[in-house]
Amino acid sequence: MKPWMAAYLISIATACCIFFLVGGLPAGKRFTKKDAYRYFKKFGYMKMSDDENSNVTFRRSVEKVQKFAGANQTGDLNDETINLLMTPRCQNPDVFEKKNRTKRFLLAEPWPSTNLTYKLANYPNKTINLTNSGIDKIIRNSLATWAIYAPKLSFSLISSTSSRKAVINLKFARLDHGDGSSFDGPGGVLAHAFYPTDGEVHFDADESWSTATNSGANFDWVAIHEIGHALGLDHSSVKGSIMYPYYTGFKANLTLSLDDIAGIQELYPV
């Protein structure tokens, strides 16, 4: 074979391979089938024991992700789906095997007491435009927003310097921070939270946190979303709800959707 012909065949093979791996996305946005498997297992769309060589299982998992996000259910790892899987999001899983899935929102257990204390352990080293007092205020507002629709809930702050324990404990943490759910640096997962009666809420300290701007990760949305988990709410497949797992960017007027309200009122009846 002539050298130019070999080079030509190699370039064709490479092009096909890249197309398969990234679904035609521009360079720099490489997302492999292996990444998709990792995603499906991490967020509950595939069981750990599922066969990674089964195309049927793979397509079914793609369909489940597409359905939850409200996208077209093609079963193909197409550009739209790859973009979805690369969207910054909450680290909590979307699907739990044993949960009753007849409702649009999913629920954990409520707190046995509705008078809840909270504590913020630290602040991120750098933000786009957030001050420490700004972070305090956003957390306070997030708690208050849930309490508007669940008026039996009340929250009181415990200072980070106090030795008193709080029920809901918030902190900024990086990478592996000792709870088995490592963060991943800038982008990707933004935060995670544990349900009652754990109440830990962790924000990825490597994000560029912001408020009232399109730049960076909007702390207002992430705080109210994660506090929703700490109060007992799971992810919702309703796009536009606070408990939708994907980060959908800065919104000027952050309010609970009907789905969020139905969820919090089921946990804490009015």
Closest CB to Zn ion among residues 58, 194: 194
58 CB contacts (<8 Å, ≥6 apart)?
A: 33, 36, 37, 52, 77
Q: Shortest gap between Cβ of 5 and Zn ion (angstroms)?
A: 53
194 CB contacts (<8 Å, ≥6 apart)?
A: 179, 200, 201, 229, 230
Annotated binding-site ranges:
90, 177, 179, 184-185, 192, 202, 204, 207, 225, 229, 235, 243
Residue ranges in contact with Zn ion by CB under 5 A: 90, 92, 179, 202
Cα 228–234–240 angle (5° rounding)? 75
> What is the per-residue burial (b if ≥16 Cβ within 10 Å, else e) of 47-76?
eeebeeeeeebbeebbbbbbebbebeeebe
Counted residue by residue, the chain has a size of: 270
Q: Shortest gap between Cβ of 30 and Zn ion (angstroms)?
A: 26
Annotated binding-site ranges for Zn(2+):
90, 177, 179, 192, 202, 225, 229, 235, 243
Annotated binding-site ranges for Ca(2+):
184-185, 204, 207
Q: Shortest gap between Cβ of 125 and Zn ion (angstroms)?
A: 17
Closest CB to Zn ion among residues 119, 202: 202
Closest CB to Zn ion among residues 105, 268: 105
Q: Which residue is nearest to Zn ion (CB)?
A: 90
Closest CB to Zn ion among residues 22, 231: 231
90 in Cβ contact with 226 (< 8 Å)? yes
Residue of 97, 109, 226, 266 marked active site? 226
Helical (H) or strand (E) element with 234: strand 233-236
**How many C-beta atoms lie closer than 10 Å to residue 93's C-beta?**
17
Q: Shortest gap between Cβ of 201 and Zn ion (angstroms)?
A: 9
Q: Shortest gap between Cβ of 204 and Zn ion (angstroms)?
A: 9
226 in active site: yes
73 CB contacts (<8 Å, ≥6 apart)?
A: 63, 66, 67
How far, in Å, CA of 128 to CA of 115, rounded? 33
Closest CB to Zn ion among residues 58, 229: 229
Residues with catalytic roles: 226
